[in-house]
Structure 1
């Protein structure tokens, strides 16, 4: 028979060696089973998976007894299988075979029994393999070279056997393991299960081939081990020689198994009943229903015991009488319905899309009988709003579960489903997404204690020092560590914040607007887009020529003035507080970079005139010669202003900084021109009016005849953004309400407005813009 370099060759057709062409005789004693009948040979179904992949088919004692009956001539002193022993090595567990401990003086019967169990290959199949390859079962005096190549593993057709795989134990182990490898990687080999294959009759291609539908893994494995089928001549002389095109390897396997153990494809064990089952040597639970066995995940075992009771203990052989299906977890299919299991109850999914959101696939669920699913009490539909004992509340959206920080957050995000309480294992497969938190709320990690604040545009993380500030010590809600980690790139909250011409300090009282010049260099302040601060408490501004500052936990009070700091003598504190107000209590390290003032001077000082080097993003500048005005962007240069009205609409009405032409050239022009009320910042579209940017309500923007200009990000960070939204309803200077629709403005009567109340408060549009919008028919 052909001996491929098994385990190393993936799909090559080998050239048969001479031994393949030898028709092996049957052993004389066939009393175990009826003799094989060639008419029953099916090339596509040589042996069933249940019979082949059955590591509990025979014990060591059973194999020893069987061998004595098969080879009475193997007496003491003979080099035969009953007398063979060797020192066997320890083999680590892998994906194909379990761990095997080495033994001293281990018998051949023990090797066959233990390897079969470890690799889940039938000991009966291994006995047949040893006989068909080297006649080891029947020989009374075995040449040593046959032990070295007992199963033909590692023996190519064109070279000697690989000595690295020599020896009886090694041959049996790697031969058995090869069949599990074939099963695990079926598409890597020429002969594939559950598919039609071209199977040769002989290594001589002139002998031809036929198309064979290979029904199962075991039959495919036999062909990948020995890649030829018997021709009619070989089958007509089942115990002898056929013709020059005959090959006998798989014929002999089928014939020997049939003679020794009965029909290889027959399931002789009575069917296993529906319910839960387990084998004596494993704690794994199996769900049996509709002729299938489904392995149950450890976390779901209690669910099944709750409804179906304790499992029946059955043998491995009996368990294998039913085919294996997908894993059984917290979801089951019955007919056209899919159910979520929980504590003896079941909740029906509304669709396969909802099943997918819970981390499952309708196409890969156990399908059980109506009688079995009836063991769980029906409790209505599955809700997307979930909890489990001690687990917090969760909303399932787009295939992710999001922890809901509190009832206010649930209301804010529009949760309408009733809360469904489940066991944790029913929820665990769903991917965890970013938590749902209302604006202004603080959350903390229930493991590390890390804190974050939800603002209008995302999450800002707090330093340890910031969490000690009173303004950031309000009650917080805990979230799981996994929820905290699902927050994508939270922005650290700086202690000193800069956006455009404004400077903020995080204090005990909240965010306080100050004169950034008191800190000296503006680089002490970190830029942050204003919407990232919405939701954090804000205190009264303290824009003045001097400030008292005290870092949290420190005893020193500093007077900041003119970009320098001076420690305050206790006796002077009362007078300074009367003049400059109470000290601003900040987090640590907010004053360390400010240089010391060598003189104790507490008089108000003027901030020096700005220069090109001192310009900050968003500053209004103009040419000292032409009067042309620009917005300064540190990243993009000068943004030309077509009309001062557009700058005023953005709230930029400060006295411009006059620069000489050479200074303007030094800065350079950007390609942007401010020539419209439509502004794009951070991918959002706004209308600029009244000194603020206002977002368009959903499905509204398309109706406005308006061009847009995208401003540099650093200028965007200096602009105020309104909490309101612009809808279709707007007002003019006279207070009349107009509806902007499909590029036209339509005057709305009071009667029409009463019948069609706007969804948003009418927005006051600049007269210059409203004048540009074409007038349509009135709405009466």
Structure 2
């Protein structure tokens, strides 16, 4: 055991006692997949049930202002970042792009931290691959997903696609399915008990270091998402649900309880129930208080999501609104905003 030098203090009669030096701290463990330093686990999770479905799809009451305050609290580089491709702040993109796919912004914060450490880092390192989306373990990142906003949108759409398959009773693209045992890359034999867990393993097919039963200790894996999510959930006074409806990224507003929205991400219908969107069906629910379907555009020859702006003549723009009705939007061509909000997409002549 190493000994430390004895240092005498003044007055001379008060000498500091000299005890043995503690062993040197262990070297940090670096995640084999992401290159990030793995934090010591304070809680371990059931590898068959990493998160609840509502953890991944909830958070309907979270606002860009709350995310901004959280980023500032964490000393994140993202607190002062605006994506030039979107002209929007990181906080706005995290909420907007997550909710557009009915994915929780709080889950997205955990995903960003687990993949790139950007939530708690004061530097821009890994900004272009913030969520690891389109960045498989075996190769580099797909160029079409490079950039912060694109990374958040990609991650949200991927998770929504996995959940849509699972909600329909299908396996995900890589074969994960609720209630069916499958081997991870650790390897571990996992039987997901809910859609959220199956979707997490589809995104990252490793259990990793934060599970009770099994997992590669040098990989964060999907268990890392559970660890970060639960830490972030209690680190800030989030408004996880809305008291009088659900926030819809498609509508870009909070819609009343019982409202039905045809999602811009996958064209499936979901209904607001007790502050959370439920469902995910091709058919519109029969008990909608108000609905936000796609609008049929004669000029485009197809249907487009709510808030889409289309120029129909040299002097007239219209925007898709509630109940599939087109509304005149005279300023949309220059401001990108119509009577029902910012244009989801704009189609000039």
Match of 2:43 among 37, 40, 48: 37
Structure 1 stretches lacking a partner, 5+ long:
1-16, 27-34, 75-79, 90-103, 203-207, 287-294, 298-314, 331-780
Q: What does residue 201 of structure 2 align with? A: 223
Contact residue 179 and residue 221 of structure 1 kept, 8 A: yes
Match of 1:190 among 174, 177, 192: 174
Q: 1:513-552 counterparts in 2 under 5 A?
A: none
Tell me how far 1:111 sits from its aligned partner.
1.0
Contact residue 176 and residue 182 of structure 2 kept, 8 A: no
Contact residue 56 and residue 317 of structure 1 kept, 8 A: no
Contact residue 50 and residue 226 of structure 2 kept, 8 A: yes
Change (3 A) 1:42 1:317: farther
CA distance in 2, matches of 1:198, 1:54: 26
Tell me how far 1:46 sits from its aligned partner.
1.5
Q: What does residue 261 of structure 1 align with? A: 233
Change (3 A) 1:279 1:173: closer
Tell me how far 1:227 sits from its aligned partner.
0.3
Q: What does residue 740 of structure 1 align with? A: none
CA distance in 2, matches of 1:192, 1:57: 30
Contact residue 106 and residue 229 of structure 2 kept, 8 A: yes
Tell me how far 1:285 sits from its aligned partner.
3.0
Tell me how far 1:147 sits from its aligned partner.
1.1
Contact residue 56 and residue 117 of structure 1 kept, 8 A: yes
**Deviation digits for residues 418-459 of structure 1 (CA, Å, limit 9, x no counterpart):** xxxxxxxxxxxxxxxxxxxxxxxxxxxxxxxxxxxxxxxxxx
CA distance in 2, matches of 1:60, 1:189: 32
CA distance in 1, matches of 2:246, 2:141: 39
Change (3 A) 1:213 1:156: closer
Q: What does residue 157 of structure 2 align with? A: 177
Q: What does residue 107 of structure 2 align with? A: 125
**Deviation digits for residues 175-207 of structure 1 (CA, Å, limit 9, x no counterpart):** 1111011122342423433222223252xxxxx
Contact residue 55 and residue 120 of structure 1 kept, 8 A: no
Change (3 A) 1:50 1:69: same
Q: What does residue 319 of structure 1 align with? A: 275
The CA RMSD over aligned residues, in Å, is 3.9
Other structure's SS at 2:208 match: coil
CA distance in 2, matches of 1:114, 1:269: 16
Structure 2 residue 38 is matched with structure 1 residue 24: yes
Contact residue 177 and residue 195 of structure 2 kept, 8 A: yes
Other structure's SS at 2:79 match: coil
Structure 2 residue 124 is matched with structure 1 residue 142: yes
Structure 2 residue 170 is matched with structure 1 residue 166: no
Contact residue 199 and residue 229 of structure 1 kept, 8 A: no
Other structure's SS at 1:260 match: helix
Structure 2 residue 188 is matched with structure 1 residue 209: yes
State TM-score, norm by structure 2: 0.57
CA distance in 2, matches of 1:148, 1:110: 17
Q: Which has more radius of gyration?
A: 1
Contact residue 296 and residue 329 of structure 1 kept, 8 A: no
Change (3 A) 1:108 1:20: closer
**Deviation digits for residues 534-573 of structure 1 (CA, Å, limit 9, x no counterpart):** xxxxxxxxxxxxxxxxxxxxxxxxxxxxxxxxxxxxxxxx
Q: What does residue 285 of structure 1 align with? A: 258
Tell me how far 1:150 sits from its aligned partner.
0.9
Structure 2 residue 47 is matched with structure 1 residue 67: no
Other structure's SS at 1:194 match: coil
CA distance in 2, matches of 1:317, 1:140: 39
Structure 2 stretches lacking a partner, 5+ long:
1-30, 248-253, 263-270, 288-349
CA distance in 2, matches of 1:50, 1:158: 31
Contact residue 201 and residue 247 of structure 1 kept, 8 A: no
Tell me how far 1:322 sits from its aligned partner.
7.6
Other structure's SS at 1:136 match: coil
Change (3 A) 1:246 1:87: closer
Greater relative contact order (Cα < 8 A, sep 6+): 2
CA distance in 2, matches of 1:321, 1:52: 12
Tell me how far 1:283 sits from its aligned partner.
5.9
Match of 1:47 among 48, 51, 55: 51
Q: What does residue 509 of structure 1 align with? A: none
CA distance in 1, matches of 2:114, 2:199: 15
Change (3 A) 1:138 1:279: closer
Change (3 A) 1:200 1:328: closer
CA distance in 1, matches of 2:94, 2:159: 15
Q: 1:691-706 counterparts in 2 under 5 A?
A: none
Structure 2 residue 58 is matched with structure 1 residue 58: no
Q: What does residue 83 of structure 1 align with? A: 80
Structure 2 residue 227 is matched with structure 1 residue 247: no
CA distance in 2, matches of 1:254, 1:160: 25
CA distance in 2, matches of 1:328, 1:65: 37
CA distance in 2, matches of 1:46, 1:253: 8
CA distance in 2, matches of 1:113, 1:140: 21
Change (3 A) 1:188 1:66: closer
**Deviation digits for residues 447-480 of structure 1 (CA, Å, limit 9, x no counterpart):** xxxxxxxxxxxxxxxxxxxxxxxxxxxxxxxxxx
Other structure's SS at 2:198 match: helix
Aligned pairs, how many? 234
CA distance in 2, matches of 1:108, 1:169: 7
Tell me how far 1:321 sits from its aligned partner.
8.9
Change (3 A) 1:23 1:243: farther
Change (3 A) 1:296 1:116: closer
